[in-house]
Structure 1
Amino acid sequence: MSQLGLHQLVAPEDAKHDIVFVHGLFGNRINTWTADKGPLWPQTFLSQDIPDARIFTFGYDADVTKLNLNEELTEGTMESHAADLCQRLSGFRAVTESSDRPLIFVAHSLGGLICAQLVVKGALAGETDNIAIISNNTRGMIFLGTPFHGSPIAPFAKVFSSMVSVLHKTHTQKVKDLEQKSEKLRILAESFASALNQRIRENQEIRVAFFHETKKYLGVLVVPELNSRIPGFGDHASINANHSEMCKFSNPEDPGYQSVVAAIRKMAADLDGKGPDASAHSVHYANTYLGNIKNQVNGNQTIHGGMHFA
C-alpha cells in the first residue's frame, strides 16, 4: 500500500470532529504511529477513546535520501506539502459533505511545521481556496517534537545526506530548513504566532498543545523543550521517550498516550462548548513572544551515528 496521500482510518457515522495525523522527517503515515509489534494506535486506542471522531493519516515524501537510483526524488517543501494536504483533505470532506466539520491535527516533528504552514498560508489565501477552507475549520493542533526553533542535529543531517549523495540522489532542503537559527523557521514561527493571535481576535481560536521528548536519541535531544513550542500559546508537557518513539504507543496505559489523548479530549470539549476560555492569557504572552523571538539563542550539541526517526 502506498504511504503517500490521505488515508481514512476510522469513520463513525455520527462523527463530530476530524482528526488528522501528519508524520515527520523520515516517517510515513503508518509506521510513525505504530510501536514495535504494536497496533496503529490512532486506529485502535484513539478510536475507542474518542468515538465521535473521524480519523485520517496523511503521508508525504519525507526522506532526505533515496537509496534507489531509479526512484525519482520529489522536490517537496513545507509549503507544497501543506498545499497537498489541504487539497486532498478538502476534496474528501467536500465529497462526504463534511466541509464545515471542526479539524484537529496531530503532528510529529516536521509534520508540525507543515501544519503551522497551512494556518499561516490559509490566513492569506482567498476564502474559497483549499488551504483557507482547511485552515478556517481547524480548531486544534497537537505538536509532538516539532522544531519551531530548529534542531541541533540538523547540521549533522545535512552533512550525512551530502555524504550519501556521492552514491545516491539526495534532497537536503528539508534538513536545511530545520537547522537552528534557520531564517525560514524564524519567519514561520513569527507568522504562526501572528496567525494564532489573529484567530483569537476573530473568536476562532486554534487550541494548541506542545510535547517535547525527554530521552536522547544517539546521545542528543533532537528537539529540546525550548525549541518545541511557541511561548504564550497552549499547554506544553513532556513525553518520556526519544524523538523517534514519542509518537509510538504500545498500549492505552502508556503515560505518553494518556497525555496526548487528554489534550485531544480537551480540544474536543472546547469545540463542544464545555472548555474554558484562555484567549486573554494567550494574547498577553503571545505579544511578549513576538517581541523577543528574534533574540532567542540556542546551544549546540554533537551526535554520533545515523538517523531514523520514523
Structure 2
Amino acid sequence: MAKILLHIIAFILVAGCSTLPDDTTSTGDLAFSSAPESSDKLIVFVHGVFGDPVNSWTSQAGVTWPDLIKGDERFRGFTVATYRCDSPFLHRSSGIAEITERLLHQLEDQDIFGKFHEVYFIAHSMGGLVVKGVLVNLNRPSQIKKLRTVKAVLYISTPAQGANMAEVSSWLSANPQLRDMQRADFNSFLQALENQWQNLIRDRGTPPFPQSFCAYETKPTHGVVIVNRIFAATFCDQNPHPVDEDHSNIAKPSSRGSDIYIWARARILDTSTLTQDAKLEYFLRKTRYNYRPGLDVEGVEWKESYREYEFTMRNPSKTERVVDLRLRFAFPWPVIASRLSCQEGCEGLAFTGIEDASFKIETQHQITKLQGYWTNLINIGATTMFPEAVFRGKIIMTTEFPPSDSASLTVGYRDGTDANKKSFFHRISVLDTATGTVKIEPEPLKGKQKTSIQFMPKEPIEFKGR
C-alpha cells in the first residue's frame, strides 16, 4: 500500500496551477507569444497530464522553456505558442481522443497550417499522445497538405507504450486520461494510435515530413521512473535520447546550456534547414568532346572559342511530383545553340531562349533590318515533372569574351500537394576560363541577387549614315 501511495504522489508532482504570462495572447487554449510579423515558423508546446502551459515548462529557477526560445538568437523568425488542456487529478475531464480532436479543430479554425509554413511540436508526456493523435488524423488525402506543414514533433518522455503508474493512479481518479495511458499490452487505444503512427511514417514522402524525435528520462521521480525507454518506444528518426532528469524536470531546462534544450534546438533547426533545401537536382558540365573548327555540330559551324555543355534536371522523389517548374539560366557566356536531348516523365516541357532574339537597326525614316543576336539567357518550363522524371539538354556557348561575374540559375516550382511556390537562386561558378569549366553551386543564395544579360550579334553590325 505504501508503494502505491508513493506512485500516486510522484504522479501528482507533475501538476501545477494554470496561469498565462503577461506577454502572451490567448485564443481559446492556444496562447501565442509576440513574434515578427514576417514569422512563418511556429513552435507549439503541449503539456502532459496534470500539467498546464506555464508550470509544466518552468524550472525551479523560474525560467520557462518558451522564454528561453524567445530570447535565443538562433530561433529568430520563430513564433512560440503553448497549448492548454484541462487535466484534473480527481475529477472527470476530456479523454485523450477528445483533447486531440479539440486541438486539431483549434489549429484548423485559426488557420495555423495556412499562416505558417513550418510547424513544430514540443510535447511532454501525455502531450505527445495528443500531438500524435492530431497527426494521424491528418494522414489522409484531403488533409495531407496540412500534415506536410508539420515538419517535426519532439516526444519528451511520452508514454507511447503506456505507463505502470497511470494504471495505479486511475484507481483513485475519475480522469479518463489516466486509463488512456495504461500499459499498451492491455490498452487498445494506445495500440490503435501506434498502428496509425506507423502507417503515417510509411506514407511519408521525400523529404520525410513530419520528422519524429524522442527523448526519455533516466532518473526516478520519488523512487519511480515514470516513462523509461521501454514505455517511450515508438518510431523515431534518430535513436531515442536519454536525459538525466526525472519525469517532471526533463521538460524544464534551466538554461540554454541544458541537455534537453540543446538537443531540441538542434533537432528543430536541422529540420528547418532540411525544409529549405531545393528538392530538384540539377547538373551542368562541359562535355569532353573537342571538335574541329568548321565542323557542323548541332547545326552550328564550330569555332575554336565554342564549348559544348550538358544540362540535367531530375526529380529524385519516388512519390511526389513537381508542377509549374520555371528555370532561368544566365550563363557565363552567350549561348550559340541549345536543344533538349531527352526527357522522361515530363509534361509541357519547353526549352527556349528569350522570346525576341533580335533588335532593330533603323534610320530616321525606316527600319533597315532586324539584327539577330545570341544571349546568355535560357528559359526552361514544365507543367509537371512526375516522380523520378529527368530531362537533359545540350548547350553550346562561345567563350571568346570574359565570363559574366553574376552567372546564375533561378529555380521556381511547387510540390504537387502544396500551393506555396518554392524559389531558389544558385550561383554558376566558372572554375577554369581557358577550358570553360563551370559548376552550379549546390547551396542556394539568399536575398536579392544581380543577374547580367549579355548580347552578341550573329553577324557584324553595319551602321549606315543617316
Fold similarity call, TM over 0.5: yes
Partner of 1:39: 63
2:24 is equivalent to residue 6 of structure 1: no
2:203 aligned residue: 198
1:136-147 to 2 correspondences below 5 Å: 136-147=148-159
Would you say the 8 A contact 1:28–1:60 is kept in 2?
A: yes
Q: Secondary structure at the match of 1:121?
A: helix
- Matching residue of 1:307: none
Match of 1:56 among 81, 104, 120: 81
Alpha-carbon distance between aligned partners in 1 of 2:236 and 2:43, rounded to the nearest angstrom: 24
1:269 aligns with 2:273: yes
The answer on whether the counterparts of 2:126 and 2:158 sit within 8 Å (CA) in structure 1 is yes
Answer yes or no: is 1:85 the counterpart of 2:92: no
Give the corresponding residue for 1:208. Answer: 212
**Is 1:23 the counterpart of 2:43 in the alignment?**
no
Q: Classify 1:273/1:235 alpha carbon distance in 2 versus 1 (closer, same or farther; 3 Å).
A: farther
Structure 1 counterpart SS, 2:59: coil
**Larger RCO: 1 or 2 (CA < 8 Å, sep 6+):** 1
Q: In structure 1, which of residues 208, 229, 232 is the aligned counterpart of residue 233 of structure 2? A: 229
Closer/same/farther in 2, CA of residues 80 and 126 from structure 1, 3 Å limit: farther
- Aligned-pair distance for 1:110? 0.5
Once the two structures are TM-superposed, the CA of residue 100 in structure 1 deviates from its matched residue by 5.0
* Aligned 8 A contact 2:147 2:210 in 1: no
Contact persistence 1:139–1:206 (CA under 8 A): yes
Which aligned pairs between 1:1-310 and structure 2 lie closer than 5 A?
A: 5-48=29-72, 49-66=74-91, 73-74=92-93, 76-93=94-111, 98-124=114-140, 126-127=142-143, 134-161=146-173, 170-171=174-175, 173-180=176-183, 181=185, 182-200=187-205, 203=207, 205-231=209-235, 233-273=237-277
Q: State the 1:47 CA deviation.
A: 4.3
Q: 1:151 to 1:62 in 2, by over 3 A?
A: same
Which structure has the highest helix share of the two?
1
**Structure 2: how far apart are the matches of 1:30 and 1:245?**
13
Q: 1:117 to 1:47 in 2, by over 3 A?
A: farther
Residues in 2 aligned to 1:62 and 1:264: alpha-carbon distance in whole angstroms: 28
Q: Identity rate of aligned residues, in percent?
A: 21
Q: In the alignment, residue 179 of structure 1 is paired with which amino acid?
A: Q
> 4+ residue stretches of structure 1 with deviation over 6 A?
none
**Rounded Cα–Cα distance in structure 2 between residues aligned with 1:137 and 1:22:** 18
Structure 2 unaligned blocks of 5 or more: 1-17, 21-27, 280-316, 319-466
Q: Relative to 1, partners in 2 of residues 1:221 and 1:11: Cα closer, same or farther, differing over 3 Å?
A: same
Q: Which has the larger radius of gyration?
A: 2
> What CA distance in whole angstroms lies between the structure 2 residues aligned with 1:104 and 1:77?
23
Give 5+ residue unaligned stretches, structure 1.
67-72, 162-169, 281-310
Q: Following TM superposition, by how much is the alpha carbon of 1:203 offset from its aligned partner in structure 2, in angstroms?
A: 4.8
Contact 2:212 2:236 (C-alpha < 8 Å) held by counterparts: no
Letter aligned with residue 194 of structure 2: A
Q: Displacement, 1:56? A: 0.5
Taking the aligned partners of 1:115 and 1:51, their CA distance within structure 2 comes to 24
In structure 2, distance between residues paired with 1:223 and 1:59:
22
Deviations 1:241-265 (A, max 9, x none): 0011100011111122111211122
Residue 109 (structure 1) shift: 0.5
Check 1:33–1:125 CA distance in 2 against 1; reply closer, same or farther (3 A cut): farther
| Structural RMSD (CA) | 2.6
Superimposed CA distance per residue, residues 183-228 of structure 1 (whole angstroms, 9 cap, x where no aligned partner): 211111111111121123x655211100000101121211111221
Question: What amino acid sits opposite 1:211 in the alignment?
Answer: A
**How many pairs does the alignment contain?**
254
User: In the alignment, residue 36 of structure 2 is paired with which amino acid?
Assistant: P
In the TM superposition, residue 157 of structure 1 has moved relative to its aligned partner by: 1.0
Secondary structure (helix, strand or coil) at the match of 2:230 reads: helix
Alignment check: 8 A CA contact 2:19 2:54 kept: no
